[in-house]
Amino acid sequence: MAGPADPGSRLHVHVDQPRSGGAGAGGRHVARRPYNVLNFFTTIDTTSGNSGPCGPSGTLDCRGADSAAELAQQQAKIVAALAAMDAHVVGLIEIQNDDGASTQALVDALNATTSPGRYAAIDTGTIGGDAIKVALIYQPAIVQLVGPFAILDSSVDPRFIDTLNRPVLIQTFEQVADGERFTVAVNHLKSKGSSCASVGDPDLGDGQGNCSVTRTNAAAALADYLAADPTGSGDPDFLIVGDLNSYRREVPITTLVGHGYVDLIEQFVGDDAYSFLFDGQLGYLDHALAIGALAGQVTGVAEWAINADEVPLFDYNDTIADPGESSFERESAARPLASTDPRRSSDHNPLLVGLDLDATPNTLAVDDAVIVTRRGGGGGLAMAAHVIGESFTTCPTVALAVEGVDVVRATLNRVRRSSVCARLTNVGLVTFDLAVGAFGAAVRLPNTFVLADTTVTFELTVDGDRFTADVTGTRRGAIWIAD
């Protein structure tokens, strides 16, 4: 066996997990990104206990950097990440809950790195009573604010416990180019890290960890609040983003899906998606969910893997034992590995959502349609055959809405030795013929569906392209048939 001095010895390095490339979501027109900035505080943390001087009360422990040197490193890494993302709207999570100084510090540094005036911050002041809050920054040359922001907290809905969840920040934006509007709700729900037994919400032992009911109630309150259009936007396009501290199959997420929201990460990224690494297990706690016509205007979703896989040695903490700093925060002698690049600027991977808000629906040819309504209430059954007149080479993701009610959304699979793609979903069967662009469905309608007229609007989305048709029919009792 050859020793270290033997010229025949060779060290062969094989990269099994190469680092990701740049940030981006394909085909984007307006991009919005939620980003956890890992306790960015411009007030230096000099105390080891919960004794101030942070938070609206000035009595909470500061978090984040323990020295001016660490703050400079932290800010440089976050700014490098934000500059590379170049998102038009950014939701910030885990930023100091102050009068806006910390958010403005990031904006000033970001504008110095990119171009003067490129970004602006929404001036919210303090939000809630915690040491951290959520915030929004945006590019005013691309989008402008429409009306004042709205806040969801306990005063709006007691189901939303704002001493555990951070209050939600909601703002409507309008594209400068064409006047198209959308509303963003930035969230940071209660973590799994500590108990909620004090409010009657212990760990239920079902795998969802601490505070699942607290997060679920907050999700239900959020869906109901957005349905009331709290910013007065007059537009149905709502996007929920942020750290929901829930994995995709947990009840808070299924609650939002049950209210008509689409899990965009599941749709565009699928089973390989993750934004966070905990005890060697991967999953996504950071979400983007869209409702209504907005879901059909999403051009792409991407996770930028710059943080979760990276070791903490690359973050902003240094080897110096600052006053009040815990030993676990200090780095080892390997500190020279650190740099001011975007990697490990947080412990969560950022998420990018691309939208084309000027996506005009195409005309849909409806060959046949039958709706059977439920007597005495909403819901029923629908059978429909639509043709979009375009051929495809791969099985698409399709979504069907009837009278503005989302009915089914599914990624289809090829039926062997044919041009047909199909999927048996929990509401029925969906098919698509690649050769002629023909869609078919036999599905159950949700209870929110009500047939109020003899003209019915069908909306079909195929891989992000929207097709609509207003179809006149004849109604005989509970049965409606297209003419």
In degrees rounded to 5, what are phi and psi of residue 382? -140, 135
DSSP state, residue 271: G
DSSP 154: T
Question: What whole-number distance in Å separates Cα of residue 223 and Cα of residue 159?
Answer: 12
Cβ atoms within 10 Å of 186's Cβ, excluding its own: 28
Beta-strand (E) ranges in 264-304? 276-278, 281-283, 286-290, 298-303
**What integer pLDDT is reported at residue 319 of this predicted model?**
61
Q: Per-residue pLDDT tens for 113-172?
A: 999 999 999 999 999 999 999 999 999 999 999 999 999 999 999 999 999 999 999 999
Higher-pLDDT residue of 359 and 299 is 299
- Domain 30-355 in CATH 3.40.605.10? The answer is no
The string of pLDDT tens digits covering residues 3-49 is 444 445 555 454 455 555 556 555 445 777 889 999 999 999 887 66
Q: Is 50 exceeded by the pLDDT of residue 451?
A: yes
pLDDT reported for residue 4: 44
- In terms of Cα–Cα distance, which of 387, 375, 368 is closest to 456? 368
Which position has the higher pLDDT, 219 or 69?
Answer: 219
95-123 per-position pLDDT tens digit: 999 999 999 999 999 999 999 999 999 99
Q: For residues 220 and 83, give the distance between their C-alpha atoms in angstroms, rounded to a whole number.
A: 34
Phi, psi of 199 (to 5 degrees): -110, 20
Closest CA to 414 of 388, 396, 429, 399: 396
| Best CA proximity match to 301, nearest among 262, 244, 339, 328 | 262
Please check whether residue 443 is in contact with residue 429, taking contact to mean a CB–CB distance below 8 angstroms: yes
Reply yes or no on whether the pLDDT at 54 is more than 80. Answer: yes
- Asked if residue 192 has pLDDT above 70, the reply is yes
> In the CATH scheme, what architecture does the domain 363-482 have?
Sandwich (2.60)
Query: Domain map of the chain by residue range?
Result: 30-355, 363-482
Q: What is the pLDDT of residue 369?
A: 93
pLDDT tens for 378-421 read 889 999 998 887 778 889 888 898 998 889 988 899 998 899 99
Give how far the C-alpha of residue 345 lies from the chain's centroid of Cα atoms, to the nearest Å. 19
Pairing of strands 181-188, 238-243: parallel
Supply the pTM of this predicted model.
0.75
Q: Do domains 30-355 and 363-482 have the same CATH topology?
A: no
